[in-house]
Amino acid sequence: MKFIKQFFIKRAIKASDSTKVRALNPKYKWKILYDASTDSYVNDLSDELQKTFNCDREDIVELGVSENVGNTTFISYDSFSWLGDLNDDAVNEALLAPCEHLIIFTENAGTLIRYLDVKLQSNIQIGLPDENLDHNLTINISAEKTSIFVRELKHYLAKIKIENEAI
């Protein structure tokens, strides 16, 4: 059963890869997509984002992903139907709502992370180095250094804003 779900999810990745859409009216300011390897650092990352960018906790959505079947706290293969659609409406709504900044906070992206990467609508994608993902901004730092990650993020977002205003 996992093989069939994985087949449809990979097919959706290929079909959606070239149709990235910018979020025109983002519902959330930040969306963090992470996996079990970076789970212990996500709360620190959210706290740093709140302090640095003066945003509320409601502006940040955290979505955990796990490749293991049977994991109930993360989005896993059990969260999908046979055709690759999400079963949980609450997760689906949070997932598909557009956001301003998408942070893919993982050091080794699996099939589900890549699938969600192409499904999520955001104006800018930020992430850690990974050859399987194509971010707009890649910050080359280890996951446990969240304060340095957010400091670098603020620095680069300020540069992007200045360049966009000059155009």
- Residue 61's nearest CA partner among 37, 89, 26, 87 is 26
pTM of the model: 0.77
What pLDDT score does 14 carry?
62
pLDDT tens for 87-103 read: 777 667 777 788 888 89
- Residue 108's nearest CA partner among 147, 149, 67, 48 is 67
Asked if residue 10 lies in contact with residue 111, where contact means CB atoms within 8 angstroms, the answer is: yes
How far apart are alpha carbons 79 and 63 in whole angstroms? 13
Asked if residue 66 lies in contact with residue 76, where contact means CB atoms within 8 angstroms, the answer is: yes
Q: Where does 2-166 sit in CATH, by number? A: 3.40.50
What pLDDT score does 24 carry?
47
- Residue 75's nearest CA partner among 104, 95, 59 is 95
| Chain centroid offset of residue 130 CA | 13
At which residue do the structure tokens 């990974």 appear? 130
Asked if residue 30 lies in contact with residue 60, where contact means CB atoms within 8 angstroms, the answer is: yes
pLDDT tens for 99-125 read: 888 898 988 777 888 888 877 888 888
Running DSSP on this structure, what letter comes out for residue 162? H
At which residue do the structure tokens 């490749």 appear? 67
Q: How many CA atoms lie within 13 A of 102 on its CB side?
A: 28
| Residue spans per domain, the chain | 2-166
Low-confidence residues of the chain, pLDDT below 70? 1-3, 5-6, 8, 10, 12-28, 69-73, 90-91, 162-167
How far apart are alpha carbons 71 and 53 in whole angstroms? 32
What pLDDT score does 152 carry?
92
How far apart are alpha carbons 138 and 30 in whole angstroms? 16
